[in-house]
Amino acid sequence: MKITRVMICLVMFMLILSTPLKGENGALKKNPDFTAQNIDAAEVRRMIKEMGARKTIDKLYDDEAIWIRIKEEIATGKKEWVEVATLLYPGSDAGSAEMIDIALGEALKNAPELVLGIIGDPDRLEVVCKSINVDEQKFSSLRKSIDEVEERIRVLSRVKDPKLEVSAKRCIAHLEQLIQSLHKYFVVP
């Protein structure tokens, strides 16, 4: 059998395709299969385990669509994504920490017990409870923002777990303060 250039190129092409797109410590490189549409909590947990929270945040933050998707998933209050938020947080800087807190604040509507249960620090509780991104279209007006905050208050007022009641009441107090702040923020001079 005679080996031709075409055959050599074909073999090389197949070798390239079969090589994993992994970098140092198994971190994903620009993997076309790793997108905002298919990212999952297990993959993010794997990245944190292999690279640490800080490097994972840097990697995820580099792709705006992926970072937005992660924030949206955390905001759903699904357990696996709230856990991802707690794993990412220690590696966060001011900007990414704020975004994680905003997402956890939104998650209060869907999983108040879960969110309250993971936040032990009273100062962090205040930040998460008061976090709302008025730059997002869904909170871009006083009415939209207050509707969101009032919904969080309604959900938190139904928390009956004795271990979480104090945190829920504190969070409600922070949210009531937030309503006052929103009135000041949206006042047109």
pLDDT at 12 over 70: no
| Rounded Cα gap, residues 108 and 112, in angstroms | 4
Report the predicted TM-score, pTM, of the whole model to 2 decimal places: 0.81
- pLDDT-derived band of residue 10, with 50, 70 and 90 as boundaries? very low
Going from the C-alpha of 62 to that of each of 1, 68, 96, 144, the distances in angstroms are 49, 11, 12, 30
**Is it the case that residue 24 has pLDDT exceeding 80?**
no
Q: Tokens for 182?
A: 């929103």
Whole-number pLDDT of residue 188:
63
In angstroms, what CA-CA distances link 130 with 73, 111, 116, 170?
Answer: 19, 16, 13, 11
8 CB contacts (<8 Å, ≥6 apart)?
A: none
How would residue 92 be classed by pLDDT, with cut points 50, 70 and 90? very high
- Mean pLDDT of all residues in 91-103: 95
85-100 mean pLDDT: 96
Confidence of residue 118 (pLDDT cuts 50, 70, 90): very high
Provide, rounded to the nearest whole percent, the portion of the chain with pLDDT above 70.
Answer: 81
12 exposed, middle or buried (CB, 10 Å; 0-12, 13-18, 19+)?
Answer: exposed
Confidence band for 167, pLDDT divided at 50, 70 and 90: very high
Please count the CA atoms within 13 angstroms of the CA of 79 that sit on its side-chain side: 2
According to the model, what pLDDT value does residue 26 have? 43
